[in-house]
Amino acid sequence: MQHKQYNHKNLKWLWLSILLMLLDIETKYLIKTHFLIGEVLSVVPGINFYYIHNSGLAFGIFANVNVYYRLIFIWITILIIMAFVITLYKMIEYSKCYSISCSMVIGGALGNLLDRVLYGTVVDFIDVYIKSWHWPTFNIADMAICIGTIILIVKHYCDF
């Protein structure tokens, strides 16, 4: 019987998860303490800080669901975080790209999970726009999750 070898060394990338989670927490704290809900500050052309609360999932999807579904979102997020940590641990070959992208998803998920557990909503504040068209408002955690996921997909299908 062959025993699988796991590469626990990939878990060293969890420092990036912690860093991204802390950056997310700090930026949300700064927004909450220096802005009123709905307040807008133009940062550069095409980017505003716009303080809102998002009770739904990504991009406000399912924003009007009841508390029962919000608890399901929390548990799903916990399961996703666990799956990515296990994936990091079980990666036999050392892959810096996979490790970094998994860590980005974990860090972002932890940042938004903390908001959901403590406040029931997630603080979003980055508003990207072109003329009158606005992308859904997001935060640092959302950026980490999206960038990490895109890297995983591109790496998987393009194998760079």
- For residue 2, being part of any structural domain is answered with no
pLDDT means per 10 residues in the chain (160 residues)?
A: 65 93 98 97 97 78 68 91 90 79 96 93 96 95 96 82
**Is residue 82 within 8 Å of 14, Cβ to Cβ?**
no
Crossing angle of helices 140-158 and 96-119, rounded to 10°: 150
Q: Distances in Å between the alpha carbon of 42 and those of 48, 53, 128, 136, 138?
A: 4, 19, 10, 16, 15
In angstroms, the first-to-last Cα distance of the chain is 34
- For residue 99, being part of any structural domain is answered with yes
- For residue 104, being part of any structural domain is answered with yes
24, 115, 124, 127: the catalytic one is 124
Structural domain boundaries enclosing 96: 8-158
- For residue 1, being part of any structural domain is answered with no
- Between CA 88 and CA 80 the distance in angstroms is 12
Identity of the amino acid at 32: K
Q: What is the pLDDT of residue 68?
A: 75
Q: What is the pLDDT of residue 154?
A: 92
- For residue 102, being part of any structural domain is answered with yes
- For residue 115, being part of any structural domain is answered with yes
24, 115, 127, 142: the catalytic one is 142
Domain count of the fold of the chain: 1
142 is catalytic: yes
